[in-house]
Chain A
Amino acid sequence: MSEHTIESRWARLGILFSIEPSQEPPDIERLLLDTARELSTNPRLFSLVVTWLVEHGFFVARHRLKHLVVTELEPEHQPVLGLLLDEAIEHGAPAELRIVRDVCQPATASRVLFNEYSQPSLAAIAKSTASELSKRWGIWAPPVELKRDAVRPSRWILDHNPYALGRVIRKGDLRTSILETLRLDLDGKAPSVSAVSRCTAATRVAVRDALRSLMKECAVVEDDPKKGIDGDRKIYLAVA
Chain B
Amino acid sequence: MIRFQQVSFGFADQPLLVDFNLTIEADRTTALMGTSGSGKSTLLRLILGLLQPASGQIYFDGKPLSAEVQTANRLRSGYLIQSGGLFPHLSARGNISLMARQQGWKPQRIEQRISELALLVQLDESLLTRKPAALSGGQRQRVALMRALMLDPDLLLLDEPFSALDPLIRHQLQDELKALIGQLNKTVVVVTHDVAEAAWLADQLVLLSHGKIVQQGSFQQFREQPASDFVEQFLAASRGLPV
Q: Do A and B come from one complex?
A: no
Residues of A within 8 A of B (CB): none
| Contacts from B to A (Cβ < 8 Å) | none
